[in-house]
Amino acid sequence: MTEMEEKLVRTIIRGFSRSILLWLLDRKAMSGYLIIKEMQKITGHSFTSGAIYPLLYELENRGFIVGDWKQRGRRRIKYYSITEKGKKMLLTIRDLLEMPVREVLNDLLGEESSLEESMNT
């Protein structure tokens, strides 16, 4: 992959990062460390705390997620969970992806698309 292609892929992943974070936290509360690991599994790209924590702080400041400190042995760890406002935003994102954008994404993923079929008729 060329440097330009890699840059495009990183930009796309960065654009979906907030949505992926909301999706992850809709499943269960997670620490920042676990979020970083899950993001790496999902995207196949490495994330640093310097990339993830600003997104978490932004989502928290906007009321989409909430952080709760928990004592784990001698350490305090902040666990993030989605709020009702965050769940509504996630539904809005899902609705957006149900629109023609989904057809484009399916095509990019190589899946059969009804858009392709409609273009051939």
Residue 112 pLDDT > 80 = no
Compute φ and ψ for 64, nearest 5 degrees: -85, -25
Which tens digits make up the pLDDT trace of 40-66? 998 888 889 999 999 999 999 999 999
Higher-pLDDT residue of 52, 103:
52
Q: Tens digit of pLDDT for each residue in 85-101?
A: 999 999 999 888 776 76
User: pTM of the full predicted structure?
Assistant: 0.77
Domain that holds residue 51: 3-120
Q: What is the DSSP string of 101-112?
A: HHHHHHHHTT--
Ranges 8-12, 43-47, 70-74, most confident: 70-74
Using the predicted structure, report yes or no on whether residue 81 has a pLDDT greater than 60: yes
Q: Which of the pair, 27 or 104, is modelled with greater confidence?
A: 27
- Maximum distance among all alpha carbons in the chain? 65
Residue with tokens 């899946």: 111
Count: domains in the chain: 1
CATH of the domain at 71: 1.10.10.10
pLDDT category, 19, cuts 50, 70, 90? very high
